[in-house]
Amino acid sequence: MQNAPSIFGYQWCRWRWAGVLAWLTALKLAGAPAAEQYHRYWGDVHGHTIFSDGKGTAADYFQYARDVAHLDFVIVTDHDFGHEAPWRMPKAHWQQTQAAAEQYTVNGRFVAIAGYEWTSQPKYWRGFTNAASEGLFPGPPCYYNHKNVYFPKPVDYLFSAKDVAYLTPDLLAAAVQRAGGLIQNNHPSAEVEGRDQFDYDGRWFSVIANTEMLPDLMRYGGKTYALRGEETVRGFLNRGGRTGFVGGSDTHEGRPSARTAVLATALTREALFEALRHRRNYAVSQAQIELDFKINGHWMGEEIAVTNPPHLNVAVQGTAKLAEVAVVRNGLVCHRVTPAGNEVRFTWRDNAFAGAAYYYVRVTQADADEEGNPSRAWSSPIWVKAR
Ligand SMILES: [Zn+2]
Ligand SMILES: [Zn+2]
């Protein structure tokens, strides 16, 4: 409540105004595209500084994000093990990171967010025999992979993967939920290092809200590597998992770049967290492709019920010619458009909808980076079921 005026008519005025506003809002929704409710903010959700294995300070990182990369927001995520023996991030470093994020945040202009990378490693378990075990936990090793954790407000200390109280994704998620933060799965892997990365309870889907999206194939140094990132995420979705998609540079050079677009009401930490929690965001691999995706008027990230076949609405504004815009349903491409230029808009009704499905949109441009990789964008999924 703002400045409650001390007049008798206040409550009445407030309710009356609420009614008028609701009516105006209904008019606006009926007459204008709902996209006006949200702005598209560009950021990077993954990167390191000298407080783990990166270069530069948190202040350098935020300054580069704001002044060089021209991002709207950025999340700094150093490894929870810090950068030197005894391989735990000192509390002072965590607090300096948070203080720098506070200092650089100016609502409406630039938002800096303090986070860290929960870095689970199999060598923490005594049963890990391939190399020297750190002997922290009994039993055979787990392969939970890494997860970024971030908070809208300063918290006393991070929840480390080396601490028995937070050693599993379930334990971590419970602690992060209590602190009001969010988690994302990092660099999903089809190899053994990612074996247990999605091993968490469905009640945490709103806390472990997003997953970093990587292409299935990637060229580097003249060779093609099978990362199978998207395939790994699709596997999780096919098993009933819920996750939105974010992109991160994982820079260790202090050079964050635009990899995640968030559709939020305002450029504040609260609004960005609200959007990320609801998966109203998407990932890009390099170019800042504008992508809008809705089903029956609902945003990416939502779970909806329908009475008729779902009606998909897609709008893409690329930075180069678009090679393909594909709609993925339950893990398979169900509709494909090959636009003639940099932009495309289409609607499509899925008459083959069979009662329950998730859909996401994948954009591929006809460009190439210095390694030969095309720019891509992946919308967060929308889950649809028959009413
Ligand atoms: Zn990592
Ligand atoms: Zn990292």
249: CA distance to ligand 2 center in Å? 8
Q: Fold for domain 287-387?
A: Immunoglobulin-like (2.60.40)
| 147 exposure class (CB count in 10 Å sphere: 0-12, 13-18, 19+) | buried
368 pLDDT higher than 90: yes
Ligand minimally distant from the alpha carbon of residue 161: 1
254 pLDDT higher than 60: yes
Ligand minimally distant from the alpha carbon of residue 252: 2
Ligand minimally distant from the alpha carbon of residue 249: 2
At 129 the pLDDT is: 83
Rounded to whole angstroms, the Cα distance separating 277 from 209 reads 6
Separation of CA 13 from chain center: 40
Amino acid at 208: I
At 12 the pLDDT is: 31
Asked whether the beta carbons of 326 and 298 are under 8 A apart, the reply is no
33 pLDDT higher than 70: no
221: CA distance to ligand 2 center in Å? 21
46: CA distance to ligand 1 center in Å? 9
Rounded to whole angstroms, the Cα distance separating 362 from 282 reads 10
Summarize pLDDT for 152-163 with one digit per residue, the tens: 999 999 999 999
323: CA distance to ligand 2 center in Å? 30
Confidence of residue 24 (pLDDT cuts 50, 70, 90): very low
Confidence of residue 151 (pLDDT cuts 50, 70, 90): very high
Mean pLDDT within 139-147: 97
**Is the overall model pTM greater than 0.85, yes or no?**
yes
Domain boundaries, the chain: 35-284, 287-387
Rounded to whole angstroms, the Cα distance separating 310 from 358 reads 11
**What percentage of residues in the chain have a pLDDT greater than 90?**
89
79: β partners: 117
At 36 the pLDDT is: 55
What is the tally of helices (H) and strands (E) in the chain?
Answer: 6, 21
Least confident of 33-42, 82-91, 170-179, 339-348: 33-42
Q: Please give the structure tokens belonging to residue 248.
A: 């991160």
Summarize pLDDT for 286-297 with one digit per residue, the tens: 999 999 999 999
Ligand minimally distant from the alpha carbon of residue 48: 2
Ligand minimally distant from the alpha carbon of residue 187: 1
At 31 the pLDDT is: 37
239: CA distance to ligand 1 center in Å? 24
Ligand minimally distant from the alpha carbon of residue 115: 2
Ion ligand 1 nearby residues (CB, 5 A)? 146, 186
167: CA distance to ligand 2 center in Å? 18
351: CA distance to ligand 2 center in Å? 42
187: CA distance to ligand 1 center in Å? 7
Q: Fold for domain 35-284?
A: TIM Barrel (3.20.20)
At 161 the pLDDT is: 98
231: CA distance to ligand 1 center in Å? 18
Mean pLDDT within 208-228: 94
More confident call, 144 vs 7: 144
**What per-residue string of b and e applies to 217-256 under the rule 16 or more CB within 10 Å gives b?**
ebbeeeeeeebbbbbbbbebbeeebbbbbbbbbbbeebbb
